[in-house]
Amino acid sequence: MQASESGNAQAEVEAVDRVIRARKTSKLMLEPDNKGESAVVWTEEQAKALRTMVEGAAWAPFHKRADEQVHRQGVLDSVVPWRFHVLEPAACRSLMQFLQRQSDNQPDSKWSRAWQSKIKNMLAACGALVQATWLPDPGAEGQSPELSANNIEHIAASGAAIQNLLLAAEARGWSSYWSSGGILRDEEVFDHLGIGRNEVLLGSLFLAPAVVTDSKLIPGGLRDQRGPVEGWARWVTLAD
């Protein structure tokens, strides 16, 4: 290897290490207004960057193919065991309005409770929402997916794809937040977004290229609780 190549490699190593450590949960919250316009500025460049990030996520490792009959007959026919459903700001805003309509029409329901939660504030502040799902193997009708060896590997691979997306966002200076989703995992929300009911939400990923004025930023609650490596890794030594 040439000296300059080795210098580049070192810079790349440092950049990757930096991005891994710098990735953090940034929950951006904004009070929705009623002006009918998104507070988020969304450029073609940002849309292109998002597409590159989403494409890059697919380079996660995966071990088992998604079931052909159940998960690969539609437009999204890849063998990878996850699906990403990407909402740019206009779609996020429209989703927010859908949630508000549901809440207005059905007081004292899961919708009105959801409208009282922070979901609307997250939708108002984000640049993009990625609904990341994993694809369970077919099981017994009406039952939750079992934690079979295959399904565990599907979830693990899907988590790796999500982490790729978060790292790609961090490298570009975007903020990111992996949320369990709350009402966004509801079947009726899936229907509204065209997500198959046989998919399972692994994360609602809120991404933002820039912090919107007046938004509040809340860090991850467990950010500082990891402790040193000795608390979760051991180097195994064995006698010959």
Ligand X SMILES: Cc1cc2nc3c(=O)[nH]c(=O)nc-3n(C[C@H](O)[C@H](O)[C@H](O)COP(=O)(O)O)c2cc1C
Name which position in 84, 178, 190, 206 contacts ligand X (CB under 6 A).
178
- Could you please report the per-residue DSSP string of 76-131? ---SSSEEEEEE-HHHHHHHHHHHHHHHHHSSSSHHHHHHHSTHHHHHHH-SEEEE
Asked if 208 and 127 touch (Cβ cutoff 8 Å), the reply is yes
Name the segment binding ligand X (CB under 6 A); options: 60-68, 87-95, 133-141, 215-223. Answer: 215-223
Q: By rule CB under 6 A, what count of residues binds ligand X?
A: 11
Name which position in 102, 151, 175, 179 contacts ligand X (CB under 6 A).
179
Please report where in the chains the tokens 């590997």 appear, as a residue: 153
Rule CB under 6 A: say whether 220 interacts with ligand X.
yes
Rule CB under 6 A: say whether 1 interacts with ligand X.
no
Q: What are phi and psi of 199, to 5 degrees?
A: -95, 155
Q: Least distance from C-beta 116 to ligand X, angstroms?
A: 16
Rule CB under 6 A: say whether 84 interacts with ligand X.
no
Residue sitting closest to ligand X (CB): 220
Spatial distance between the Cα atoms of 100 and 40, rounded to a whole number of angstroms? 19
Name the segment binding ligand X (CB under 6 A); options: 59-67, 71-79, 119-127, 216-224. Answer: 216-224
Q: Least distance from C-beta 178 to ligand X, angstroms?
A: 4
Q: Least distance from C-beta 50 to ligand X, angstroms?
A: 20
Q: Least distance from C-beta 177 to ligand X, angstroms?
A: 7
Name the segment binding ligand X (CB under 6 A); options: 97-105, 167-175, 178-186, 189-197. Answer: 178-186
Q: Using CB under 6 A as the criterion, what x/- string covers residues 53-72 for binding ligand X?
A: --------------------
Residue 208: in which H helix or E strand, if any? strand 200-208
Rule CB under 6 A: say whether 222 interacts with ligand X.
yes
Task: Indicate the DSSP class of residue 230.
Answer: G
Asked if 137 and 148 touch (Cβ cutoff 8 Å), the reply is yes
Q: Which residues pair with 129 in a beta bridge?
A: 87, 206
Which of 79, 87, 85, 86 lies closest to 60, judged by CA? 79
Which residues of the chain form contacts with ligand X (CB under 6 A)?
A: 24-25, 178-180, 203, 219-223
